[in-house]
Structure 1
Amino acid sequence: MIRKQLQEMDKKDRKKSALLGAVIGDIAGSRFEFRNYKKKKDYHLITEKCFFTDDSVMSVAVAKGLMESAPSFAGLAENAANSMQQLGRRYPEAGYGGRFYNWIFSDNPQPYGSYGNGAAMRVGPCGQAAKSLSEAKSFSRTVTEITHNHPEALKGAEATATAVYLAKAGKSREEIREVIEREYYRIDFTLDSIRKNYRFDVSCQGSVPQALEAFFESLDFEDAVRNAISIGGDSDTIAAICGSIAGSYYGVPQKLEEAALTFFDYFMKGIIDKFEEYTDARA
């Protein structure tokens, strides 16, 4: 009885946040990106060997762009682009892809037809800030097509933002899966069935369905992130995408939130705090 009460208290203390879920997933997966770990899920999620990557930087940048565009969001594309360039230039060693790195430092940034999973890892804040599913989709498309304007990128980003919003709205994993499989991806595999042969894949179509399945098979937030890391591949990004959904669905454990925030400076933490306050007020 006491244990059950403590578990219920822990659940109440968990903050439901796609942004925090994404950065925790990113940081937890960072040390496994180029040294995949496909064995038991019996390790500390966040250690001194972890670090934040471009997934965290761009998720925070999108959150900043959303806040700066409120209340009408008419200037979201411009504000998101400016924010992504600002933070990208502030943290130039975060591990950006070549074409995106050039976009960050361009005087005239233009979309470049990418279908990379960088489109999906940064849209958690879109689902978190949205007041409706249609708004989540609109936000996602706007902040995605400024760089990743390939149909597969737009699809992967929208699927992620949709799952985040539905999780926030209280839908069950089964209900979210039904929407994803009807409108975006047929997920006809389990993590166990792909773990042995799954390889590094930075495309949306080759990593977003896997991140979604990691959430669908999860028991709680930590289990979701561990699931995402356990298949290998682009570990930090898959865990960031999965974490954004799991953070909205389960809530983020306070200890993991505190551990993750130690990796950021005052500037990044300030944006994260403001976004949490902003979305709480907008709910």
Structure 2
Amino acid sequence: MIGAIIGDTVGSIYEFDNIKTKDFELIKDGVSPTDDSILTFATADWIMRGGEAWKYYVAYASKYDCPVGGYGGGFTRYVTRVRATGNHEPYNSCGNGSAMRVSPVGWAFDTKEDVLAKAKESAECTHNHPEGIKGAQATALAIFMARKGASKDEIKATMESEFGYDLNFTLDELRPQYSWAYPGAALCQGTVPQAIRCVLEATDYEDAIRNAVSLGGDSDTLACIAGGIAEPVFGVPKKLYTIGMNILKHYFPEPHKLVIDFEKKFGNRVL
């Protein structure tokens, strides 16, 4: 889980000021967790306490209503509607929000079936479009597989066979054309395969985050998804973990405690 939060934090200052290089200061002044992390906290809280997932997403978005990056327009309208009318019907989104917030699911459940079911449940309360559900399931399953010792080749094969993602491209091929204007850049289908590829080409956790930020586009979300998968694949360096947790504590003291409690119960991979 912390891998996703650190990725989001690193990418926070590049979401609307894209860079196209891996050579950048990793923890630059001004970085902070964004809406991606806030809704990741909500997922973790839902898992810890139970109940209906949508209530946690609405509650966290209401409490932390002006985050860095800002919530997506569809989600903002959804929260406004729920608060005004109580109508919590999903809005058929396939936006990448379902994938950016799902990492706790990959840590909390110990069978493939449970991971897929809970990832679907976490997504479909808002993102009930098939691609929105698929993006959440693929991200959570990749985390679960890495936790259980699967290799990058095994993860790649599963993402291709079970979710139909084409991962046979390189980041060097993608980078020149990838931006906010790239087809589906804010959607699961234009973000999740690209984030997975960032992990597949990486040599370690930090390299995965640098890969994601260097693509451009929705940098914080790419890095959040990639970081969530990279954590169990490579492990998060202890120094970077400490920096990330200190930043989290500074901006979000209550969720900081939640992350500690969640990882005590379900684990993490810190080197």
Q: TM-score, normalised by structure 1?
A: 0.87
Q: Which residue of 2 aligns with 1:215?
A: 199
Q: Which residue of 1 aligns with 2:7?
A: 25
Runs ≥4 residues deviating over 3 A: none
Task: Please report how far the alpha carbon of residue 47 of structure 1 lies from its aligned counterpart in structure 2 after TM superposition.
Answer: 2.1
State which of 100, 112, 119 in structure 1 corresponds to 2:75.
100
Cα distance in structure 2, aligned partners of 1:280 and 1:216: 23
State which of 222, 226, 242 in structure 2 corresponds to 1:238.
222
Matches within 5 A, 1:68-107: 68-69=49-50, 75=51, 78=52, 80-94=53-67, 95-105=70-80, 106=82, 107=86
Task: Please report how far the alpha carbon of residue 51 of structure 1 lies from its aligned counterpart in structure 2 after TM superposition.
Answer: 1.6
| 8 Å contact from structure 2 (residues 107, 267) kept in 1 | no
Cα distance in structure 2, aligned partners of 1:250 and 1:123: 19
The SS at the match of 1:195 is helix
Q: Which residue of 1 aligns with 2:44?
A: 63
Q: Does 1:228 align with 2:216?
A: no
Deviates most, 53-62 or 83-92: 83-92
Q: Does 1:277 align with 2:256?
A: no
Q: Which residue of 1 aligns with 2:171?
A: 191
Partner AA of 1:68 in structure 2? R
Cα distance in structure 2, aligned partners of 1:84 and 1:261: 22
The one-character-per-residue Cα deviations of 1:179-199 (angstroms, maximum 9, x if unpaired) are 111111121211000100112
The alignment-based identity, stated in percent, is: 42
Cα distance in structure 2, aligned partners of 1:226 and 1:32: 11
| 8 Å contact from structure 1 (residues 55, 237) kept in 2 | yes
The one-character-per-residue Cα deviations of 1:17-59 (angstroms, maximum 9, x if unpaired) are xx101000000011111111112x2222122221211110011
| 8 Å contact from structure 1 (residues 26, 56) kept in 2 | yes
Q: Which residue of 1 aligns with 2:113?
A: 134
* Number of residues of Structure 1 aligned to a counterpart in Structure 2: 254
The one-character-per-residue Cα deviations of 1:98-155 (angstroms, maximum 9, x if unpaired) are 2211222423222000010001111111011011111110110001000000011111
Cα distance in structure 2, aligned partners of 1:241 and 1:266: 23
Task: Please report how far the alpha carbon of residue 87 of structure 1 lies from its aligned counterpart in structure 2 after TM superposition.
Answer: 1.4
Cα distance in structure 1, aligned partners of 2:227 and 2:267: 19
The SS at the match of 1:89 is helix
How has the CA–CA distance of structure 1 residues 231 and 62 changed in structure 2, closer, same or farther, with 3 Å as cutoff?
A: same
| 8 Å contact from structure 2 (residues 36, 97) kept in 1 | yes
Task: Please report how far the alpha carbon of residue 262 of structure 1 lies from its aligned counterpart in structure 2 after TM superposition.
Answer: 2.7
Q: Which residue of 2 aligns with 1:257?
A: 241
| 8 Å contact from structure 2 (residues 178, 217) kept in 1 | yes
Q: Does 1:123 align with 2:96?
A: no
Deviates most, 252-261 or 157-166: 252-261
The SS at the match of 1:196 is helix
| 8 Å contact from structure 2 (residues 103, 228) kept in 1 | yes
State which of 235, 245, 248 in structure 1 corresponds to 2:232.
248
Deviates most, 100-109 or 162-171: 100-109
Cα distance in structure 2, aligned partners of 1:65 and 1:263: 23
The SS at the match of 2:206 is helix
Task: Please report how far the alpha carbon of residue 254 of structure 1 lies from its aligned counterpart in structure 2 after TM superposition.
Answer: 1.8
State which of 44, 51, 62 in structure 1 corresponds to 2:32.
51
Partner AA of 2:66 in structure 1? E
Report the RMSD for the aligned CA atoms in angstroms. Answer: 1.3
